[in-house]
Chains A and B, each alone.
Chain A
């Protein structure tokens, strides 16, 4: 087995109170740097995790446990304060699908733009365009501006672009909460298909039944620490016990 994601002793602190103006910072400097300009808290504390290629891992935990922060470290959006994160191959996020969508552009333009944002080149997008539209079930609305889409249509198109990026590592953050049931099922089937193809999946979701179906391994986070790492059923059971 080859390692897909390696996370070693990652620490991340967040600043709670921000100073947004030079005036405040200046006053603080003049007062002899008295007091902390900002409060800090540990979002991730000494997290180590190795994920092999083809593993399906659920990151579990309550709100604020650091799941999404960890996902952002894997995608490269955030950098650890100390420790290291390494990944192999293309990493694509279904982290808040549609982040790269612009409401004033047509569905077609958004497919190209979002595809490029997710790391596809022109040839790849053109090759997969029909498949993206077909999967999204957008049909003739593809040339309509996205702002006129229903939230379901919007999500379907965004999800469709993301699954067509064909990454080695797939990061999925709480995306299946929207969309109607048939489409949710279709998404789950697609995700299961990706898992069967040997893609590495890292899923964050509060829908415990769903992640138990998709993932094999569970990692329980609490206040930025890894509490438990094992088969997903055990971890879900532990989380439900509270």
Chain B
């Protein structure tokens, strides 16, 4: 019976206003539909391609090699005998950041287009519209899994033996990115219906996002070059904290543990980032609900 409200009706015995859902709560209720939407997306995405889901290994793989060669080798970020100032195990440092930022980029990029690209359906049938950005994020999470597996294999070969704390931190990092991506995705997805500029704005933000977090370079550089105050602002970005958390979880245990992690990462910055992302989720949902009333006529 619970699914019935998703179709625009309520319990049999009362009059309800159609078209007013309960936001993300309705998504939980329509989880079967959500599952089907995710399945559809995954099937349709790789339809007619020989490599299929393998593409989600190939693309980050190539990206990794390019960055590794350009930054690690040419620009000297990798530690070696001739370059003792570099980062030890730079490959793992780089890859643990890249997988996370790729997940964020894909989730947010697709979520902010989700409403417009499902316009045909939204114009005709009422269903909780939050389903579409959430489904896009879910699809990105599915693509994230094989990348994490590769990272884990690479870590194990490099002598990774994580503690429970480090694993918990990895989960927290994933949560931070997921909530932040859904929040921003709901926000930009809704705005995109009214102003198609939103998706270009998102593309720009995503380009900046890779460089605004210590994915390619060590965080110490930021503090060194720009000072403590700027570093505080830098740390307020939840994605930055999530990337550092992944470094803490995957990269740090493979090094001699001599590498400093940002001060107060666990005690202060992870909680702050979780709260910021949660807040973003709430804001995204509020804006979405405010704007969704006119989706059908604006699309």
With an 8 A cutoff between CB atoms, is A194 at the interface? no
Asked if B14 and A112 make an inter-chain contact with CB atoms under 8 angstroms apart, the answer reads: no
Interface residue total, chain B, C-beta cutoff 8 A: 44
In the complex, what residues of B have CB within 8 A of residue A78's CB?
19, 296-297
In the complex, what residues of A have CB within 8 A of residue B12's CB?
88-89, 168
Determine how close the nearest CB of chain B comes to the CB of A33; give it in whole angstroms.
Answer: 17
Give the complex CA separation of A102 and B118 in angstroms: 11
Determine how close the nearest CB of chain B comes to the CB of A107; give it in whole angstroms.
Answer: 14
Give the complex CA separation of A84 and B16 in angstroms: 10
Neighbour of A88 across the interface among B6, B13, B125, CB < 8 A: B13
Asked if B32 and A91 make an inter-chain contact with CB atoms under 8 angstroms apart, the answer reads: no
In the complex, what residues of A have CB within 8 A of residue B11's CB?
89
With an 8 A cutoff between CB atoms, is B47 at the interface? yes
Determine how close the nearest CB of chain B comes to the CB of A28; give it in whole angstroms.
Answer: 13
With an 8 A cutoff between CB atoms, is A117 at the interface? yes
With an 8 A cutoff between CB atoms, is A104 at the interface? yes
In the complex, what residues of A have CB within 8 A of residue B195's CB?
20-22, 25
Interface residues of A in 158-176 (CB under 8 A from B): 165, 167-169
With an 8 A cutoff between CB atoms, is B142 at the interface? no
With an 8 A cutoff between CB atoms, is B160 at the interface? no
Q: Which residue of B lies closest to A165 (CB)?
A: B7
Asked if B3 and A86 make an inter-chain contact with CB atoms under 8 angstroms apart, the answer reads: no
Asked if A72 and B16 make an inter-chain contact with CB atoms under 8 angstroms apart, the answer reads: no
Neighbour of A91 across the interface among B14, B18, B197, B293, CB < 8 A: B18
Asked if A75 and B43 make an inter-chain contact with CB atoms under 8 angstroms apart, the answer reads: no
- B-contact 0/1 string along A118-150, CB 8 Å cutoff: 111110000000000000000000000000000
Asked if A119 and B3 make an inter-chain contact with CB atoms under 8 angstroms apart, the answer reads: yes
Asked if A113 and B36 make an inter-chain contact with CB atoms under 8 angstroms apart, the answer reads: yes
With an 8 A cutoff between CB atoms, is A57 at the interface? no
Neighbour of B124 across the interface among A21, A95, A119, A120, CB < 8 A: A95
Give the complex CA separation of A6 and B10 in angstroms: 14
Give the complex CA separation of A190 and B123 in angstroms: 26
Interface residue total, chain A, C-beta cutoff 8 A: 48
Give the complex CA separation of A88 and B5 in angstroms: 11
Asked if B44 and A99 make an inter-chain contact with CB atoms under 8 angstroms apart, the answer reads: no
Give the complex CA separation of A84 and B37 in angstroms: 31
A-B contact count (CB 8 A): 133
Asked if A87 and B9 make an inter-chain contact with CB atoms under 8 angstroms apart, the answer reads: yes
With an 8 A cutoff between CB atoms, is A201 at the interface? no
- B-contact 0/1 string along A83-112, CB 8 Å cutoff: 011111111110110011010110001001
Give the complex CA separation of A116 and B131 in angstroms: 12
With an 8 A cutoff between CB atoms, is B84 at the interface? no
Asked if B17 and A86 make an inter-chain contact with CB atoms under 8 angstroms apart, the answer reads: yes
In the complex, what residues of A have CB within 8 A of residue B15's CB?
3, 6, 86-88
- B-contact 0/1 string along A11-26, CB 8 Å cutoff: 0001100101110010
Determine how close the nearest CB of chain B comes to the CB of A213; give it in whole angstroms.
Answer: 26
Asked if A109 and B40 make an inter-chain contact with CB atoms under 8 angstroms apart, the answer reads: yes
Asked if A88 and B9 make an inter-chain contact with CB atoms under 8 angstroms apart, the answer reads: yes
Determine how close the nearest CB of chain A comes to the CB of B116; give it in whole angstroms.
Answer: 11
Give the complex CA separation of A111 and B1 in angstroms: 19
Asked if A77 and B123 make an inter-chain contact with CB atoms under 8 angstroms apart, the answer reads: yes
Asked if B8 and A116 make an inter-chain contact with CB atoms under 8 angstroms apart, the answer reads: no
- B-contact 0/1 string along A24-43, CB 8 Å cutoff: 01000000000000000000
Asked if A113 and B125 make an inter-chain contact with CB atoms under 8 angstroms apart, the answer reads: no
Give the complex CA separation of A85 and B122 in angstroms: 19
In the complex, what residues of A have CB within 8 A of residue B9's CB?
87-91, 119, 167-169
Determine how close the nearest CB of chain B comes to the CB of A168; give it in whole angstroms.
Answer: 7
Neighbour of B36 across the interface among A15, A85, A116, CB < 8 A: A116
B: residues with CB less than 8 A from A are: 2-4, 6-20, 30, 32-33, 36-37, 39-40, 43-44, 47, 120-127, 195-197, 293-294, 296-298
**Would you mind naming 5 contact pairs between A and B with Cβ atoms under 8 Å apart?**
A6-B15, A77-B125, A87-B15, A88-B12, A169-B9
A: residues with CB less than 8 A from B are: 3, 6, 14-15, 18, 20-22, 25, 72-79, 84-93, 95-96, 99-100, 102, 104-105, 109, 112-113, 116-122, 165, 167-169
